[in-house]
Structure 1
Amino acid sequence: MISGLRPLLAVVRPYRLHLAGAIGSGVLDQALTVAIAAVGAWVAGAAITGAGVAELRPGLIVLACLVIPRAVLAFVESHIAHDMAFRILVDIRERLYAGFERIAPAHPKGHRSGDLASTVMDDVERLEVFFAHTLSPLCVAVVVPTGSLAALWFIHPVLALVILPIAALVAFVPAWLRKRATVQGRAWRLHLGRLNATAVDGVQGLREIATFGQEERYLTRLGEHGRDLHEAQLAHGSRVGVERAVTDLLIGLGVVGVLAGSAVLVATGTMPVVLYPTAVVLAAAALAPVTKLGDAARELGVVAAAGERIFAVVDAPAMAPEPASPRPLPALPMALDVSFRNVSFRYGPDLPPAVSGITFDLAAGETVALVGHSGAGKSTITNLLLRFWDPESGSVRIAGHDLRDLADHELRELICVVPQEIYLLNRTVAENIALGRPGASQEEIEAAATAALAHDFIVEELPDGYDTVVGEWGARVSGGQRQRIAIARALLRDAPILILDEPVSNVDAESERLLGLAMARVRAGRTTLLVAHRLSTIRTADRLIVLDHGKVAEIGTHAELVAAGGTYARLIRHQLQ
């Protein structure tokens, strides 16, 4: 549990003043609460013993003077603690997203989107218990009981000695089952993540589930995850119940002990009867903050598990670490050359090489198509050019600069990608296009859309034109329309290097012809890497690089490679058949 909480303590450091304010106001709040209770108990005791109004008046005045400050301090403590907690949660969400960005795309590929969503949302929210309801009460649980015990000692040392071991045992109860709490917290977060992931799968794949009549099977699977989560929560609740029962038992013993001890002291004349109620109130005051802390501490197993899941992403090393001292890029021409030199890479130590000994060049302004069967290494080469990973050996260079020497933001400015699987944000068409260059004017957005042959369908077919919200995953536009919006986004980016993953895969023959003309215009003067499958796309390239099982099999023009009768010629024959 401690390992899961240690990173949480580190993120509090920038908010030390907030924490100090919460602790200070919390201590004063509890101190005034104890004072009010103690003075009230003294007034009651004095009244019972026959004191007159004149004798009670000072105590009543003190009570009246303490009530309002105590209420104000309770508000201040809660406000400061929650303000600190919510600020920290914002910071953690930003760090979490930065972690996803830093390790993408490797880390998300090994996790389900629903599980990641659970980490981003629910796990982060769980930390509010720690920051708002545990840190400040922890200090209050030390300071206030100490003061209450000192007051009890002043009344009579025996009473303090009675309550001291009880307070220590109450504070120890959460630590008693600490290991079990850690295991249960991890199980809870694990099963909740699985349930969320399965639910997201169902929402995203609703059409397929209904089409194949798998509703009952899906609901069965969802129910299994729900039962697993229920069992984990039940185990957690049972442990919390045991801890609460033990705590209540100890508090009962402490109160009974003080009642009995005070009665004996009063009966023997050792303690004035007027102090009897005060002694009982101080005993309760010594135990109350410790009990409140215990209530929060019972949830620390879940909090620690949530922290472990979050910081597993936040602290994960980048797949391609940014250089400590990036080499600044000089002024570069619009078209840049790209070179791969003896590049080898594998996705895991136990996996075979995805590419091996890859060497080729893209001249400035040249369009080169990567050709090969599925799994030949085309996507790996684009990922290495984008520096999602670094090669195990060899180098990838742009304009003679090794990518490992460049700052990430400078590299991103040099390259633009149109992937085969287009993701559109649930925003307007204009906002999705402007993702390529935030701050672009409406005229620039429309010019890019026109060049991508998207303008006409945007203004004629979409209900609100460029202000139409496209829906999640661009659900309100067709596949071909999504493709053209993505191409417009790339055109607006105006980067010197383009990566196009089968850019005409989702358009009809006529649109493909027109889009081919548009792409020919935009490729002019830019270095373009085509990941191509269709012959019509392949033939538009200046040269072809044919990959086979992670190695370069052939390099040449379409005509040269067809005439050579090698790997490329066999791929073409297969496609034509």
Structure 2
Amino acid sequence: MKHLAAVYKYFWKYRFRFIAGILLTATSNYFAVMTPEITGYIVGKLQQSLPGAKPTSFRNEYDALVTYFIKWVDTMSFSQLVTICSLTILLLAVLRGLFMFFMRQTIIVMSRHIEFDQKNEVYQHYQRLDTGFYKTHSTGDLMNRMAEDVSRVRMFTGPAIMYLINLLSLISLSVINMFRKDVHLSLIVLAPLPLLALTIYIVNNVIHKKSEKVQASLSNLTTNAQEAYSGIRVIKSFVQENAMMRFFTQNSEEYRKNAVGLAKVEAIYFPSMTLMVGLSTLITILIGGQMALEDPSKVGLIVEFVIYINMLTFPVSAIGSVASMVQRAAASQKRLNEFLQTEPVIKDKNNAVPANLSGDIVFDNVSFTYANTGIKAIENFSLTIKEGQKILIIGKTGSGKSTLAQLLLRFYDPEKGAVTIGGTPVSNFKVRELREQIAYVPQDVFLFSDTVGNNISFGLPQVATKENMQHAARLASVDNEIKGLEKGYETMVGERGVTLSGGQKQRVSIARALIKDSRMLLLDDCLSAVDAKTEHTIIQNLYQYLDKKTAIIITHRIFSHLNFDQVVVMENGRMLEQGTHEQLMSLDGYYAELYRLQVSNEQSGE
């Protein structure tokens, strides 16, 4: 239950609905427990009317409202009394049903509001978590926690709470009435309840552990399915449908075993609850029958107790269901808390300053190692980029080029050294403002399942005008191809831009960055899927666009069409060479060799 403490704040938020639900439940059950008293009174009157029956005095252990009612009908003829009491019992049933309806309208609706708030809370927290978190957690698991786990928690905030309130109020009112009538008989009838409580305690622990296993295996199953759907083209191209099916079947079988194991425990649990209640009913009839033989005037009392026991059948048997829902919810909330209590490593400092990205960019003896893999990506790297300069960073795959971009955007913080803009460490800026002022095209292009136009204007506070979209698309050399689509800029691109080619997706991603018109442009190997002619056109467009802007272009190719202020060659996280194109050619090192090889390939048409 300690894990569910995280949702108690929602009960306070919706306290008026919650309190109203409690009052409505108590009122509904108050009308319910009046029925056995009136029935017992009628049976008692019937027993007195039999030949040879001894007259009995009116008992004063009835509820106050029932006492008032009995005093009113006690002087009536027997036929009138039966008619009035029958109509009263019918009226009480109608009133109870009406209040139960309003009870569900308060508590169940409250649980839906809580589900809505909790899903928003989880999603919002996901947005706050840093890039490192997403490298160690699968998308399927994240989705399962926000969907399946939150739904199970709703079963606690709704049905479980409603049944629990109903259970407590009905048992309390019934037990009070039972002890008011006959303490000795009440103790005998309720004797199985301690055994019931012990059974619930033992089985609940088992259910809790099995529920955790079920949710964990469901996350694995969801992750498996999500990856298969996302990578379906790779699966089909390598003809691995059967292999993926075997993998899915294995995860599905694990989930089935855990779910069946939990169902078996619950299958034993619920009938045992009914058995305990049935045992109480048998005890009531057995002991009550003996009492009635000794004192016939107690027939009405015995009937009343039997009705109480039968009335308690559903609430008591629901203890198992409530306990199961609570345990499942606790297991799910524990999984949610693991993420909700995870603080992002990258966040605004208490003294964070507004970002005003002007001035030189400086990497001062920076070193960085990826925590999840232990790979040292950057080591003792220093570089100064003057404001307005155009920088080309090249190197082999894994040389640390993309890591520099992520450090500048503060996806990570360096473990040593500092990255500054205008003399201020980027860690001192507000993260949101820092990233808003940098136009970034990542290496891994991602388009949303939306229109081309909305994908281009994604980084803006509102959808851009068509003129601005077209201008950015022309700079990215993709405007004509977009116009050639069936609906132009209103064309849906499909999941992850699946309806576009690799080159088109890259250029749409470039247009998304250019439309921001930021003072800093960061391109991370974003022309790898573009042919040489289109690449030349884009570079020429960028030459005009980048006037007075700071630009860092990361690639494994040399852009000979653009005059860079600095060219940085990286290898194994270190700076191998640095200078202008002419200076590096005169060094006749790695850059010169790469340039000659590239020119040779271009001339040969490769």
1:3-152 alignment runs, 5 A limit: 3-36=2-35, 38-40=37-39, 43=42, 52-152=78-178
- Compared CA separation, residues 43 and 428, structure 1 to 2 (3 A): farther
**Post-superposition shift, 1:43?**
4.7
Match of 1:468 in 2: 491
Preserved contact between residue 25 and residue 169 of structure 2 (Cα < 8 Å): no
Separation (CA, whole Å) in 2 of partners of 1:49 and 1:463: 90
Q: How far off is 1:473 after superposition? A: 0.6
Distance 2:333 2:514 in 1: 42
Q: How do residues 470-485 of structure 1 correspond to structure 2 at under 5 angstroms?
A: 470-485=493-508
Distance 1:377 1:538 in 2: 24
Provide Cα deviations, 1:198-249, integer angstroms capped at 9, x if missing partner: 1222222222222222222221111111111110011101111121232122
Q: Partner amino acid for 1:7?
A: A
Distance 1:148 1:489, change over 3 A: same
Amino acid at match of 2:523: L
Distance of 1:283 and 1:292 partners within structure 2: 14
SS at match of 2:515: helix
Q: Tell me if structure 2 keeps the 8 A contact 1:145–1:287.
A: no
Verify the 8 A CA contact 2:152 2:332 in the aligned structure 1: yes
The letter for the 2-side match of 1:345 is F
SS at match of 1:149: helix
Q: Give 3-state SS (helix, strand or coil) of 1:356's partner.
A: strand
Pairwise mapping of residues 66-465 of structure 1 onto structure 2 (< 5 A)? 66-269=92-295, 272-286=298-312, 288-329=314-355, 332=356, 336-348=359-371, 351-439=374-462, 440-459=464-483, 461-465=484-488
1:571 shift after superposition: 4.9
Contact 1:181 1:300 in 2 (8 A): no
When residues 45 and 367 of structure 1 are mapped into structure 2, their CA distance, relative to the original with a 3 A threshold, is farther
Give the CA deviation at 1:49.
Answer: 6.8
- Select 1:499's aligned residue among 513, 516, 522: 522
Query: 2:33·2:173 contact (CA, 8 Å) conserved in 1?
Result: no
**Larger mean Cα displacement after TM superposition, 51-60 or 499-508:** 51-60
Q: TM-score, normalised by structure 2?
A: 0.88
Structure 1 window deviating more from structure 2 (447-456 vs 314-323): it is 447-456
Contact 1:367 1:527 in 2 (8 A): yes
Deviations 1:453-510 (A, max 9, x none): 2322222x21111111111011112222212221221122222222111232222222
**TM-score (normalised: structure 1):** 0.92
Please give the alpha-carbon distance, in whole angstroms, between the structure 2 residues aligned to 1:249 and 1:540.
86
Task: Give distance in 1, aligned partners of 2:542 and 2:78.
Answer: 98
Q: Which amino acid aligns with 1:153?
A: F
Higher alpha-carbon deviation: 150-159 or 135-144: 135-144
* Cα displacement (A) at 1:63: 2.4
Deviation readout 1:279-331 (Å, 9 max, x if unpaired) = 112223345323323212113343223222222222211021321242234xx
Q: Which amino acid aligns with 2:352?
A: P
| Preserved contact between residue 377 and residue 550 of structure 1 (Cα < 8 Å) | yes
Superposed displacement of residue 160, structure 1: 2.1
Q: Residue 336 of structure 1 contacts residue 497 of structure 1 at CA under 8 Å; is this kept in 2?
A: no
Q: 1:100 touches 1:107 (CA, 8 Å); kept in 2?
A: no
Closer, same or farther: CA 239–504 of 1 in aligned 2, 3 Å: same
Letter in 2 for 1:5: L
> Using a 3 Å threshold, how does the CA distance of structure 1 residues 376 and 11 change in structure 2: closer, same or farther?
farther
Would the aligned equivalents of 1:99 and 1:315 in 2 still touch at CA under 8 Å? no
Shift of 1:145: 0.9
Percent of residue pairs bearing the same amino acid type: 26
| Counterpart-to-counterpart distance in 1, 2:403 and 2:572 | 12
Of stretches 100-109 and 150-159 in structure 1, the one that deviates more from structure 2 is 100-109
CA shift in 2, pair 1:15/1:565, >3 Å: farther
Corresponding residue to 1:546 among 569, 572, 588: 569
Give the 3 Å change call, closer, same or farther, for CA 358–57 of structure 1 in structure 2: same
| Preserved contact between residue 29 and residue 169 of structure 2 (Cα < 8 Å) | no
| Matched residue type, 2:473 | A
Q: Partners of 1:138 and 1:67 in 2: how far apart?
A: 21
* Residue deviations 1:3-44 (CA, integer Å, cap 9, x gap): 433323344432333322222222223333333455456556
Residues 174-215 of structure 1 deviation map (CA, whole Å, 9 limit, x = unaligned): 321233222211211111111122122222222222222222
- Between the aligned partners of 1:67 and 1:178, the Cα distance in structure 2 is 34
Distance 2:413 2:36 in 1: 67
Q: Helix, strand or coil: the match of 1:343?
A: strand
Task: Tell me if the contact between 1:340 and 1:395 (Cα under 8 Å) persists in the aligned partners.
Answer: yes
Contact 1:369 1:538 in 2 (8 A): no
> 1:510 & 1:38 partners in 2: Cα distance?
93
* 1:157 to partner: Cα distance: 0.8
Q: CA deviation at 1:66?
A: 2.5
Considering only CA atoms, is the larger Rg found in Structure 1 or Structure 2? 2
Distance in 1, Cα, partners of 2:149 & 2:188: 41
Per-residue displacement from partner, 1:384-403 (whole Å, max 9, x unpaired)? Answer: 11112222222222222222
- Is the contact made by 1:369 and 1:545 (CA closer than 8 Å) also made in structure 2? yes
Structural RMSD (CA): 2.5
- Take 1:36 and 1:100, find their aligned partners in 2: how far apart are those partners? 53
Stretch of structure 1 that moved more, 145-154 or 338-347 = 338-347
CA distance in 1: counterparts of 2:16 and 2:365, whole angstroms: 55
SS in 1 for 2:518: coil
Q: What amino acid is the match of 2:27?
A: L
545-554 or 524-533, which deviates more: 545-554
Q: How many residues align?
A: 572
Q: Which amino acid in the other structure matches residue 389 of structure 2?
A: E
1-structure distance, mates of 2:560, 2:440: 16
Kept in 1, the 8 Å contact 2:394–2:557? The answer is no
Q: Distance in 2 between matches of 1:430 and 1:40?
A: 73
Instruction: Tell me which amino acid in the other structure corresponds to 2:386.
Output: A
Alignment partners' CA distance in 2, 1:437 and 1:76: 46
* Deviation, structure 1 residue 79: 2.0
Q: Secondary structure at the match of 1:295?
A: helix
Q: CA deviation at 1:171?
A: 4.0
